[in-house]
Amino acid sequence: MGQNNIETKYNKIIIALSIVIPVAVAILFGINLRKLGFDVEPLSFLPPIYATINGFTAVFLVAAVVAIKNGKRTLHERLMKFAIACSVAFLVMYVAYHMTSDSTKFGGEGAIKYAYFFILITHIVLSIVIIPLVLITYVKALAQRFDKHKKIAKITFPIWLYVAITGVIVYLMISPYYVN
């Protein structure tokens, strides 16, 4: 299959996933299985786990950039696949947590509250933006269009790294307010 055929084949999937994932997360985020009468235990143990996974995503991203700059393409590919897997695992756990647990309100006041909401809002917005960017960047590599891959990766990398790091920061800022 030619390079353009690979990209064309995946374009519809990229568009679909870029819409379906945020919409599904928004819908599922609003569904609380316990409030609907299902006898499920709150998955209150998940936030530190998915925050840690966000941290691993950041580490894998930085390590992948270092690997490719050192000419280690296979290592770069593996690290990027780990970063994608971590992001998917995060998303599944995040949704599962919110479907079984009540939302936690941030209890800080003053400047820290504004900082928290700035970080949270930019994290959420960029986590939506990053979906098509990661997918496009990945498909460019699959199609062996490394010139295009490198060009978009320069945009994708800092945004994805920001989303991963701010995910950890948001958790650390709100964790004192979790109710067990």
Phi-psi region of 108 (alpha: psi -120 to 50; beta: other; left: phi over 0): beta
pLDDT digits (tens, 9 = 90+) for 153-169: 999 999 999 999 999 99
pLDDT average, residue stretch 49-53: 97
Determine the residue type at 109. E
Q: Distance between alpha carbon 56 and the CA centroid of its chain, in Å?
A: 11
For the chain, give the mean pLDDT.
93
Q: Assess contact for 156 and 148: CB atoms under 8 A.
A: no
Between residues 126 and 42, which one has the greater pLDDT? 126
pLDDT average, residue stretch 89-107: 92
Between residues 40 and 179, which one has the greater pLDDT? 40
Sorted by where each starts, the structural domains of the chain and their CATH numbers stand as 3-177 (1.20.120)
Q: 84 pLDDT band (50/70/90 cuts)? A: very high
Q: 1 pLDDT band (50/70/90 cuts)? A: low
- The structure's pTM equals 0.91
